[in-house]
Chains A and B, each alone.
Chain A
């Protein structure tokens, strides 16, 4: 039996070695994928100057408020503010057209007289409060004079329809915060002026601040970055892509007749499956180490943070191995049930994408609707991803990942057993 398994492993390696397309899918594509996705996603974490998003600012105010908005946007390091196109000052119409055509992602329209009207409104409110408190002398002429009616002002935002909701929300929140700060500052200043310059001075610094407490491991702060999140997720995605070449391999054996020959040989189907499992597990591990090596050694040379695997490699390897088992079980089942490569390849690719989406590779599970959160928790890719995060970001011990890797192994056993049962029921005596 050992010799039969060994010869099966040798045969599988020889078949893979001579399948250039399969090798590209197995080794090159995952590397391209992990580099590309990490580079793209890293830009959302970064606030470096060459990553600034150009936005349009139409300043109909020309006052202190619009100047503060302009300065804050420039200082934010996220945006570069464009106020002219082709050396012409932008109007609302021009800005709207440019954004709706996708030339810019955002235009901010500051309304006319915003600074003056804001100040007037604040003056009125402060005057009202101060006088009610009896802090100023009563002026009979002022009491009879009707206060000027100030209409609410609207800062208009035009978004490129193609931008994502998350970007929209983030921009709207930061602009809202900026406007609130300007209003608050103006209120404080007006109070200060009303109460007498030099006598009262308000501390305008925020009293409540917030600070993120970063977890410490071995007295070092473990600050998650795009690489720590992306490499495990996309490595797992690549490991699961083994479903495609493995299922094609099984379908080919059926169509070539070699599977029929094996059924007539004194060899159990289990031996064939063990041979494939050993081979493809080895491939999963090679894939995994290649991706880790790229993340550790290549990423710093292409402007990405290096993957920090210090003290985690052993447990990460265990998670990768068990994730590989789950993927192999799924591949064996798919290859057994499918009759043609036309069935197995598209189904395999689509199902891996669905598993990745459900498992939280793209959108975190906590951000999913409640029903999807339950579904996500039954996805093997989610078990693998959570186990990777446990090891890499939460610094857990081996004992703590046992439930997740057990689920992955159980998935392998169940899918492989179904495949064996299905095949036995369908084909053999």
Chain B
């Protein structure tokens, strides 16, 4: 029994690629493999023609990762967290300082820059979590449910900013349970379930190819069924 089986994907530069699926479908496992966190038992993948076996360090320089949990130090301020994670990407000095200020400002957090993360709301933490993954202008950005548990305003701010990043050349690969958000945001989508890809394509092509489906949610239900996935 494998978390993923016979998965084959090609994501092109400039795409916003959504990995959708019910709980336990294998989305986080797949994204963890692509980020270099889990080693696949078989098979291979490349990012920008590089593989992890030989070019782990090079790949890590061109990718950005926004994990599902708030991967931040709660007792440090937003600025301290971002300075630290930015420096781990090799950024330093005035460039790093300016970049932190610029992104905090763009996501409406500049006035909270020197407040500790533990005092932030869920939406604010999500935005800082996002900034920590994009300070180095990655070519490829992986986001694992970046809008889960946030208010509408924060969600919109995050999605809008991601669209700007994409327009500036960043390829985005993201997982989500918000099907309406994915339908609006993604250029391409793959629907995973039980470790396999059931369908992939543009949102409109998936809707068109499914009988009587009017939106992505109906495509999703049609492919994955209505059964609960608790404990799977």
Contact = CB atoms under 8 A, between A and B. Distances in A.
B65 A266 contact: no
A373 to B, nearest CB: 45
Nearest to B90: A266
A429 interface: yes
Contacts of A264: 35-37, 60, 63, 65
25 contacts: A3-B87, A11-B73, A18-B75, A256-B70, A256-B74, A257-B67, A257-B72, A260-B67, A260-B71, A261-B67, A261-B71, A262-B88, A263-B36, A264-B35, A264-B60, A264-B63, A265-B89, A266-B60, A266-B89, A267-B88, A428-B37, A429-B33, A429-B38, A429-B53, A429-B56
B88 A4 contact: yes
A7 interface: yes
B144 to A, nearest CB: 10
Interface residues of A, number: 24
Contacts of B232: none
A201 interface: no
Contacts, number: 84
B132 A261 contact: yes
Contact of B72 (A258, A267, A429): A258
Contacts of B126: none
Contacts of A11: 73, 76, 80, 84
Nearest to B117: A256
Interface in A43-59: none
Given A7-B84, A257-B70, A429 B75 contact: no
Interface of A: 3-4, 7-8, 10-11, 14-15, 18-19, 256-258, 260-267, 427-429
Contacts of A427: 37-38
B69 A429 contact: no
A18 B70 CA distance: 19
Contacts of B71: 256-258, 260-261
Contact of A260 (B37, B83, B90): B37
A7 B88 CA distance: 8
Minimum-distance CB pairs A-B, first 5:
A257-B71, A257-B69, A261-B71, A7-B87, A266-B60
Nearest to A255: B69
Contact of A14 (B52, B67, B76): B76
Contacts of B61: 266
Given A264-B60, A429-B37, A256 B88 contact: no
B57 interface: yes
Given A3-B87, A261-B65, 4 more contacts: A11-B76, A14-B76, A18-B116, A261-B67
B51 to A, nearest CB: 9
A262 B67 CA distance: 11
A428 B89 contact: no
Contacts of A8: 84
Contacts of B116: 18
Contacts of A7: 83-84, 87-88
B37 A19 contact: no
Max chain B C-beta neighbours (<10 A), residue from A7, A19, A261, A263: A261
Given A256-B72, A428-B36, A429-B38, A4 B87 contact: yes
B39 A429 contact: yes
A173 B84 CA distance: 66
B161 interface: no
B41 to A, nearest CB: 12
A155 B88 CA distance: 77
B92 interface: yes
B112 interface: no
